[in-house]
Structure 1
């Protein structure tokens, strides 16, 4: 940290003692969030149990949600007047810049469709990734993983640039925020970050070809009177060729909208396909 411009210091051996946290200190983010959380609490907001960055305000006739990421804030609710009232109160305490309706937030595109549906996608993020790797003209494939493909830590030479592999797989991992169809393959690719092989890089390129044909895919949310929880799970017994552990996967729907999914290697070796299925089911039940 440096003293502000124009500050006169006649003794170079002395340092300035701050009376409050300022931008740039490691304590600043925590101090800012604490200040904002205290302010929202005074407005009647409560922090959600699932995420302390999500604040909820309940009244007899309205509900308002506010999502905070550092100094970026999303706010929505079923009472427009109350939402504007909260924005005005915040603006008196903290200078705000109102960006209007939500269209883009942390590489996620938000589209409101004519029939009341909401589409969350990362098509721009996917396109930038393909252009970066010069695969924007690659021939698309129908699936991210070929039938019968096996992942192994031995068998082929190591990749020429392991750091590139890690960078691309990390980017693919971020893409799974709105792409459950990539979750299983990307999860498997993440297991070989320490020593990626040519065979693993070949699978990465296939995933990129699949993305090239499905750039606009994402999560579609629609209105529904049905709020039943519907779950699906599956397992692949002894899929891991190195440790013979099985893979679990599930997806959870609220009505017709998918709200949670997972693809993960099981923690222990299942001695039968039935055991693998039950472990996958147990993981799903724990999520619900």
Structure 2
């Protein structure tokens, strides 16, 4: 599909998605305030739509689509795109005086467990919160830092020096991978695959577990999450099952969106490395040890029994969602980062962007 960007002054809503279907083409329009992206299977349809909008609004052609809401778009020779935030990362490194710092191979030391207490409070908590807030936005194109950023976010209320050291580790990792971004490429096979994992009782302060999951549409990563569970899980199976429920809800939302976009998809599959949790999705017997998480249990099981999705066991060494639940070693991190489709612009064959229309004047 061809991508075009444009803008106009009188947009009324924050975010909206419009669709237009003809017998020979599909056209989608994404509107965020006064910034717009148009994509279509027909270039002539895009030209016609832009001409129609130009009759009603003042538009200005600023060339190819390269930048949108702080996200850089680089076009790949295979028809795909690389979404990155190199400029945003450089600005953040300059703000923290780490632009020339020694890079690190991973965003967090393997096996590190951050605690609420253990050192002195930082001198400027506001600065800590500002930097961590910026790191949260970078996870839009850098899913591999989601776990590390989620951990340092948990100490916003009372940041200490060892928390700040963890933040600087993330920044030094980004310093060595500024050109990396999320690679999205066209594909004819639009099957949905979800990977979920949980690190049971991993928080040393409250023994709550961390859940991580990632969802692929065909070969492309489209959704991911790293989050501490809201309640304490009494077993590793329970922790994993709560992760199953989270990724199931996300996949159902994605299915509904694709249905509205008239995109047919095959039966979704979820891969989990906990055999007990996988067995519970199909076991009709309610054991007493599972009654304290019955809602999640029934939610996932109902979807499995109605054949809306399939849950499959996956050996732990192949569980890509592991990168979203804990700090892992450098070799494992590098392998899973690649599986998340995060790559460097220097390793890709890039080409010029598609001509587009951007911000307007009044």
Q: In structure 1, which of residues 190, 210, 215 is the aligned counterpart of residue 153 of structure 2? A: 190
Contact in 1 for aligned 2:135/2:149 (Cα 8 Å): yes
Give the whole-Å Cα distance in 2 for the aligned partners of 1:148 and 1:89. 57
Q: Would you say 1:54 and 2:33 are equivalent positions?
A: no
Cα displacement (A) at 1:32: 4.2
2:62 is paired with a residue whose SS is coil
Query: Could you state the TM-score of these two structures normalised by the residue count of structure 1?
Result: 0.81
1:187-266 to structure 2, matched below 5 A, reads: 187-266=150-229
Could you say which residue in structure 2 is the equivalent of 1:163? 126
* Segment drifting more, 158-167 vs 51-60: 51-60
Cα displacement (A) at 1:240: 1.6
Cα displacement (A) at 1:201: 0.1
Q: Which runs of 5+ in 1 are unaligned?
A: 1-28, 35-50
1:53-202 to structure 2, matched below 5 A, reads: 53-202=16-165
Could you say which residue in structure 2 is the equivalent of 1:16? none
RMSD after superposition:
1.6
1:33 is paired with a residue whose SS is coil
2:102 is paired with a residue whose SS is coil
- Write out the 4+ residue segments of structure 1 that deviate beyond 6 Å after TM superposition: none
Q: Going by fraction, where is strand more abundant, 1 or 2?
A: 2
Q: Which runs of 5+ in 2 are unaligned?
A: 1-8, 252-362
Contact in 1 for aligned 2:15/2:30 (Cα 8 Å): no
Query: Could you state the TM-score of these two structures normalised by the residue count of structure 2?
Result: 0.65
**Greater RCO between the two (CA within 8 Å, min separation 6)?**
2
Tell me which structure has the larger Cα radius of gyration. Answer: 1
After superposition, the C-alpha distances for 1:211-246 in whole angstroms (9 at most, x for unaligned) are 011111111011222211121111111112222110
Could you say which residue in structure 1 is the equivalent of 2:246? 283
2:83 is paired with a residue whose SS is strand
Give the whole-Å Cα distance in 2 for the aligned partners of 1:96 and 1:59. 25
